[in-house]
Structure 1
Amino acid sequence: MGPHDAFRAEVEHNIDGLAEDTDLQALSRLWVREASPYNWPYNFSWFGRPAIQFPNDAWALQELVWKVRPDLIIETGIAHGGSLIYSASLLALLDLCDATERGETLDPRQPSRKVLGIDIDIRAHNRQAIEAHPMAARIEMIEGSSIAEETVAAVRQIASGYKRILVCLDSHHTHDHVLAELEAYAPLVSPGSYCIVFDTLVEDMPAALSANRPWGPGNSPKSAVHAFLKSRSDFVIDKRIDRKLQITVAPDGFLRRVE
């Protein structure tokens, strides 16, 4: 076994241990619970825009983007735009790597990869900041409910021009809304790629933490994921991702398309 394979084997062994360590998993949930009142993910930005994500989850997305090499990332939920810009920068790096391998010069004005963001309310100051950002050429936005018939149709039309697609769902976190998003957008995911459902952790947190929200335990993204998978054989939960992360907003939320 060479040194690279030996290191990968060590990593897999570490993840096996994390998967069996129920005490550490409970401690991770406790940490998330205690950090939640402080809006911990609000503290982080990417290239100048608030991202409102756990850094661990952003790192996991980067690993998946390198693995899948998507040419389109679809995101529901835009907020301040940091996640869109993060995804766009990852795709820009893929384009740079491809151009380097081919011995070509990359033209940033004509990107081959794109991020498509959907939000029911793209506030003017956020839209202005996103459109003024250097990554803007890689970003397209649709304002409207992510589950409205006309929005889904527009997304499907755009997606038809791409081969490898990855989806991130992070908008309204009720069971019915997320289930409708999964039914609309999961079929666009390419085999071997992922649909990432964020904020599944709502299911594992005390109800008091979402008392002022229309979602909570039993009515959450995780309950939608489990309902969705009951009738599907083409997606599986990649549990090894949230096991290795431990601190994540998406336990059971990394769905890999297997067929």
Structure 2
Amino acid sequence: MDPKAEFKCFVKANIDGLRADTSLRKDSIDWLRRTLFHQYSYNHSWMDRPIIQYPQDMIAIQELIWQIKPDLVIETGIAHGGSLILSASILALLDYRDAVDDGRMLDPKESRRRVLGIDIDIRAHNRAAIDAHPMAHLIDMIQGSSIAPEIVAEVRKRAAGFERIMVILDSNHTHDHVLAELRAYAPLVSHGSYCVVFDTVIEDLPAGIYPERPWDVGNNPKTAVREFLSGRDDFKVDEDIEAKLLITVAPGGYLRRR
């Protein structure tokens, strides 16, 4: 067996062991719950832009982008723009790799790859910071509700012609909103790619932990995912990712299109 294949087998065995360790998985969700009160997810950045995310999920996203090699990444929810920058930076590395493989000079302005972010309220200082970032040449933004018919139509129009598409949903976390996003954007995901639904962990946390928010246990991204997947087989939860990460805000939310 060649070293690369041997190492993949080693990692698979690790993941299988983690999946079977129910005690460790419980400890992981307990740890995550305790960090929420410290607003842990606000502590991190990517290329100098705040990214309100857990590092384990940041690693998973870059792994998926490098693996899938998408031409377009669609993201709902922008905030400070850190997630857009993360996606764009991996796309830029894919462009660089393609240029090296082709034996040509890289011209960033000629990239066919894009990140498209949608948010109901793109604050002026965040938009200015994203526009001024070195990764800005790969990023487009649309302001408006991600489930508004005109916004969905615009996204679909912009997605036309892209061969490989990945979707990340991280905006309003209510059941109805996420379900509407899934129905609008999951059909754009290319076969073998992913629709990642963040904050499904809300269903696994104590009720009332977000008293100022409209979502809670029974009304959140995980309940939306369950309804979306019911009776269909074109998407499947990638349980290996959750087992590998242990700590994730998206348990059951990494959806791979068959």
Q: TM-score range by the shorter chain?
A: over 0.9
- How far, CA to CA, are the matches of 2:208 and 2:26 in structure 1? 18
Match of residue 154 from structure 2: 154
Match of residue 22 from structure 2: 22
Give, as a single letter, the amino acid of the residue that structure 1 aligns with 2:223. S
Give, as a single letter, the amino acid of the residue that structure 2 aligns with 1:241. I
Match of residue 81 from structure 1: 81
SS at match of 1:172: coil
Match of residue 126 from structure 2: 126
Q: Tell whether the 8 Å contact from 2:62 to 2:86 is kept in structure 1 after alignment.
A: no
CA RMSD in angstroms comes to 0.7
Deviations 1:109-147 (A, max 9, x none): 222100000000000110111111111110000000000
Q: Tell whether the 8 Å contact from 1:28 to 1:246 is kept in structure 2 after alignment.
A: yes
- How far, CA to CA, are the matches of 2:189 and 2:66 in structure 1? 16
Written as runs of structure 1 = structure 2, the 5 A alignment for 1:1-259 is 1-258=1-258
- How far, CA to CA, are the matches of 1:96 and 1:175 in structure 2? 39
What is the CA distance between 1:204 and its match in structure 2?
Answer: 0.4
Give TM-score, length-normalised by structure 2.
0.99
- How far, CA to CA, are the matches of 1:11 and 1:137 in structure 2? 36
- How far, CA to CA, are the matches of 1:231 and 1:175 in structure 2? 18
- How far, CA to CA, are the matches of 1:60 and 1:133 in structure 2? 23
Give, as a single letter, the amino acid of the residue that structure 2 aligns with 1:187. P
Deviations 1:65-100 (A, max 9, x none): 111100000000000001001100000000000110
Deviations 1:166-189 (A, max 9, x none): 000000000000000000000000
What is the CA distance between 1:5 and its match in structure 2?
Answer: 1.3
- How far, CA to CA, are the matches of 1:64 and 1:16 in structure 2? 19
- How far, CA to CA, are the matches of 1:200 and 1:224 in structure 2? 9
What is the CA distance between 1:29 and its match in structure 2?
Answer: 0.4
What is the CA distance between 1:231 and its match in structure 2?
Answer: 2.9
What is the CA distance between 1:151 and its match in structure 2?
Answer: 0.2
Query: After TM superposition, which residue ranges in structure 1, 4 or more long, deviate above 4 angstroms?
Result: none
SS at match of 1:196: strand
SS at match of 1:195: strand
- How far, CA to CA, are the matches of 1:4 and 1:183 in structure 2? 38
- How far, CA to CA, are the matches of 2:210 and 2:242 in structure 1? 22
Q: Tell whether the 8 Å contact from 1:200 to 1:253 is kept in structure 2 after alignment.
A: yes
Greater shift in the superposed pair: 187-196 or 210-219 = 210-219
- How far, CA to CA, are the matches of 2:248 and 2:147 in structure 1? 25
Q: Tell whether the 8 Å contact from 1:198 to 1:250 is kept in structure 2 after alignment.
A: yes
Give, as a single letter, the amino acid of the residue that structure 1 aligns with 2:182. L
Q: Specify every segment of 5 or more residues in structure 1 that has no aligned partner in the other structure, as ranges.
A: none
Q: Tell whether the 8 Å contact from 1:37 to 1:209 is kept in structure 2 after alignment.
A: no
What is the CA distance between 1:60 and its match in structure 2?
Answer: 0.6
Q: Specify every segment of 5 or more residues in structure 2 that has no aligned partner in the other structure, as ranges.
A: none
- How far, CA to CA, are the matches of 1:157 and 1:39 in structure 2? 37
SS at match of 2:122: coil
Q: Taking every aligned residue pair, what percent have the same amino acid on both sides?
A: 61
